[in-house]
Amino acid sequence: MAAPSAPGPSQPREGLPALFIPRTAAEEQRVRLERLMRNPEKTVLIPEKLNEWAPRPPPEFVRDVMGSSAGAGSGEFHVYRHLRRREYQRQDFMDAMAEKQKLDEEFQKKLERNKMIAEEQTAKRRRKRLFCCELLNKEDTRDHVLLHAVCVLESDQSQERASSKEDEEDSKEEEEEKEDDAEELSFVMGRG
């Protein structure tokens, strides 16, 4: 006749759900969402992005500038070494930030270029749809096969016009480059 003991690990406590150990990332996320949804009025702490590390700024005024050859047995060389290390670290940081900005600008340009290409394609397809719809709405055209052929032919012709304009521009650029090359001086080795 044992007295009822305190709830142990094998016995769930009253009023609390049984302990659940998530085995996958999906289960862990489900458990966290359930815990959040139990009390929707509770504020959720969302951590902000941490500030990036930046080196200390260089001193405004350097009183005495020392060189690496401070003298034999000098106790000041470690000071020079630390100053040099900090300066190199600061320069590396500035170079990395410049590279990051350059990559960000290139990425933004690429996004804009892709957006323009997508808009051009959308406009081209819209023109094609409208042209085909106009032909379908005409009363005198009854043969849909002929209509489809006309739509395809018209779109092919518009593509050829666009590609021929690009080819003309490319050929003009090549001619200009040839003219520029002709203007350059050339030295011929003679017998001498």
Residue that has been written with the tokens 């808009």 in this structure: 119
Count of CA atoms in the C-beta half-sphere (13 A) of 30:
8
pLDDT in tens, 142-151: 556 566 666 6
pLDDT in tens, 21-70: 889 999 999 998 888 888 889 888 888 888 888 888 877 877 766 666 65
**Domain boundary assignment for the chain:** 77-177
pLDDT in tens, 164-189: 766 777 777 777 666 655 555 555 55
pLDDT at 22 (0 to 100): 87
Residue that has been written with the tokens 């749809």 in this structure: 129
Can you list the alpha helix ranges (DSSP code H) found in 14-76? 25-38
